[in-house]
Amino acid sequence: MKATIKDVASLAGVSVKTVSRVINNEPNVRPAMQDKVNSAVAELNFKRNPLARGLRGQNSFIITLLYSNPNPSYVLELQNGAIEQANAEGFNLQILPCDHTNKNLVRNIESIIAHSSQDGFLLTHPLCDNEEIIALLEKNNIPFVRISPFHHKHSSPYVLSDDHLAAYEMTKHLISLGHTDIAIIKGHPDYGATHKRYEGFSRAMKEMNLEVDDSLVKEGLFTFESGETCARQLLTQEHKPTAIFASNDYMAAAVLKVAAQMHVKIPANLSVVGYDDAPVSKQIWPSLTTVKQPIYDLAKHAVQKLIRHIKKQDFDDIESKFQCKLVLRNSTSPKM
């Protein structure tokens, strides 16, 4: 059977409390004792029982990743980064998918935090901008870290990628290819990313003294269908762009569809860029020039911040910002 702390104690010839001190890196244990305990631990292949630890101790060593996101590759990368870091620090990650349009959302989360014992939460957009959820966690004194929030007004820690800068650089890239009539298909208005990406785009255009014609700014919803509608408008209206910046890859893929139907050659007659480096960006032809967010690192760092918070250790900054990467593929070319 599994070795318990008692087995270790008797093998090492010390008390259970001493074993507990050693395995928890508590101070006030003589090195000689530590060695004895450590070799007993190794010999018995002992690991703490997380259930017992969680029951008796202050902490359960469980953190919960809460998300409501329709993008599978994004969610999975988030999960993988969070699991990796949580396990490395001796925590378990619980994943909690939910639906942010559900009317009972807050009540459901309330019931979950009331009855299971998580040490902290990782909140992704759009949940991390939900005032009710934040108020709930604060009221219950549960530490949380927000991932890519839109609002920064809360004093709670958060991690994000520099969407503004990446959109700025991508736009500059299009301009450097000679494009001046650049359209943008914006994302869903409720998403922070939408506005940051648009601001980055605008700043680049302004800096290069390029006017952004209103007819070249379309309001999408991050879905393929919305991208299709916007693309159709852009490619049929009087003022046609020579390049389109779609605020995510799904909408960029929709641009390719409309272009194909209208016999507009990409990238020869129209350059298209997306955002996210979603799987589709490689599975489509021409493959999409896009922006890769450091999602895995974002998640790892968010867990790190959260655990620091839980352990009440010294804080690093409230904000941690990570850089995106431009991924140049085949949907862009110099303006003819």
Partner DNA sequence: TTGAAAGCGCTAACAC
Partner DNA sequence: GTGTTAGCGCTTTCAA
The site for DNA (CB under 7 A) is made up of: 1-2, 4-6, 14-18, 20-21, 23-24, 27-30, 32-33, 46-49, 52-53, 55-58
Nearer to a second copy, 285 or 315 (CB): 285
The single residue among 13, 26, 35, 47 that binds a second copy, judged by CB under 8 A, is 47
| For a second copy, the closer CB: 76 or 318 | 76
**Structure token pair of residue 254:** 């929709």
Min. distance of Cβ 206 from a second copy in angstroms? 32
Residues 6+ apart with CB under 8 A from 95: 64, 65, 67, 79
Pairwise CA distance, residues 134 & 142, whole Å: 10
Please answer whether residues 253 and 227 qualify as being in contact, where contact means their C-beta atoms are separated by less than 8 angstroms.
yes
Of 212 and 328, the one with the shorter C-beta distance to a second copy is 328
**256 is an interface residue for a second copy by CB under 8 A:** yes
As measured in angstroms, the least distance from the Cβ of 91 to DNA is 13
**Shortest Cβ 300–a second copy spacing (Å):** 14
Backbone φ/ψ region at 105: left (φ over 0), alpha (ψ -120 to 50), beta = alpha
Measured from the CB of residue 318, what is the shortest distance to DNA in angstroms? 27
Total residue count of the chain as it appears in this document? 336
Does 261 help bind a second copy (rule: CB under 8 A)?
yes
* Cβ-based nearer residue to DNA, 33 or 177: 33
> For residues 269-288, which are near a second copy according to CB under 8 A?
279-280, 282-285
Among 42, 88, 114, 318, binds a second copy (CB under 8 A): 114
Shortest CB 281 distance to a second copy, Å: 10
Residues 308, 320: Cα–Cα separation, whole Å: 14
Q: How far is the CB of 80 from a second copy (least distance, A)?
A: 6
Residue 203 C-beta: closest distance to a second copy, Å: 29
307 binds a second copy (CB under 8 A): no
Size of interface with a second copy, in residues (CB under 8 A):
39
Whether the Cβ atoms of residue 166 and residue 145 lie closer than 8 Å to each other: no
Least Å distance, CB 53 to DNA, is: 4
- By CB under 8 A, residue 268 contacts a second copy: no
User: What stretch of H or E contains 218?
Assistant: strand 217-219
- Cα–Cα distances (Å) from 199 to 25, 156, 173, 298, in that order, read 48, 24, 16, 22
Pairing state between β 290-292 and 325-327:
antiparallel
β pairing state of 243-246 and 144-147: unpaired
Q: Does 107 bind a second copy (CB under 8 A)?
A: no
Helices (H), the chain: 5-12, 16-23, 31-44, 50-56, 72-88, 105-115, 131-139, 163-176, 192-207, 224-236, 249-261, 280-283, 295-310
Q: What is the CA radius of gyration of the chain?
A: 25
Q: Does 108 bind a second copy (CB under 8 A)?
A: no
308 binds, among DNA, a second copy, none (CB under 5 to 8 A by kind): none
Helix, strand, coil shares of the chain as percentages rounded to 5? 45, 15, 40
Q: Which does 92 bind (CB under 5 to 8 A by kind): a second copy, DNA, none?
A: a second copy
Question: Does the N-terminal peptide bond of residue 126 adopt cis geometry, omega within 30 degrees of 0?
Answer: yes
**Contacts with a second copy, residue ranges (CB under 8 A):** 2, 45, 47, 49-52, 54-55, 60, 72-73, 75-76, 79-80, 83, 92, 94-95, 97, 114-117, 224, 250, 253-254, 256-257, 260-261, 279-280, 282-285
